[in-house]
């Protein structure tokens, strides 16, 4: 799994004078079925979230309101993506270390996830993450 696999998904936009509408269909716009939705909100200025990788979880991250940065790291390459549109989703595949910061005031980050919450799916220690990346490459 590489950061190159983590791409922006341009979601459908139904423009309407009454207000715009965007939708996401699991298995259609994103390469997984959606089993869980969670969101981060009321994030104080200067906060950092993330700081972990998932063993098997696939996610789509959307800035529903405001903006924030996501730092992605596959153990070899890194990239930073600025999220600021509710019609762009960032697909994050398994085995990617992610950190989030630079939240604007009022930012809401919604995440569509392929599985229920499971703490056993997390690497929360960077060195353990790297040693498992190396193990998978052998």
- CA pair distance 138, 134, nearest whole angstrom: 7
Q: Report the residue number, 24 or 40, with the smaller CB distance to ligand T46.
A: 40
What does the binding site for ligand T46 look like in residue numbers (CB under 6 A)? 36, 38, 40, 49-50, 59, 98, 100, 111, 117
Q: Report the residue number, 29 or 101, with the smaller CB distance to ligand T46.
A: 101
Q: Report the residue number, 3 or 100, with the smaller CB distance to ligand T46.
A: 100
- CB of 98: closest distance to ligand T46 in angstroms? 6
Question: Cα–chain-centroid distance for residue 90?
Answer: 6
Of these residues, 29, 52, 71, 76, which one is catalytic? 52
Judge whether 52 counts as a catalytic residue.
yes
Inter-CA distances, 37 with 61, 99, 125, 128, Å: 10, 19, 24, 27
Residues 6+ apart with CB under 8 A from 4: 77
Q: Which residues are catalytic?
A: 52
């Amino acid at each position: 799994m590489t950061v190159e696999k983590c791409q922006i998904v341009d979601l459908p936009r139904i423009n309407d004078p009454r207000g715009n509408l965007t939708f996401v269909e699991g298995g259609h716009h994103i390469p997984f079925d959606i089993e869980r939705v969670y969101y981060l909100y009321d994030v104080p200025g200067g906060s950092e979230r993330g700081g972990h990788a998932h063993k098997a979880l696939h996610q789509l991250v959307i800035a529903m309101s405001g903006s924030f940065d996501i730092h992605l790291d596959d153990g070899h390459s890194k990239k930073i993506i600025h999220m600021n549109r509710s019609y762009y989703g960032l697909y994050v595949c398994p085995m990617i270390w992610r950190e989030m910061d630079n939240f604007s005031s009022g930012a809401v980050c919604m995440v569509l996830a392929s599985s229920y919450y499971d703490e056993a799916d997390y690497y929360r220690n960077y060195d353990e993450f790297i040693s498992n990346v190396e193990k998978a490459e052998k």
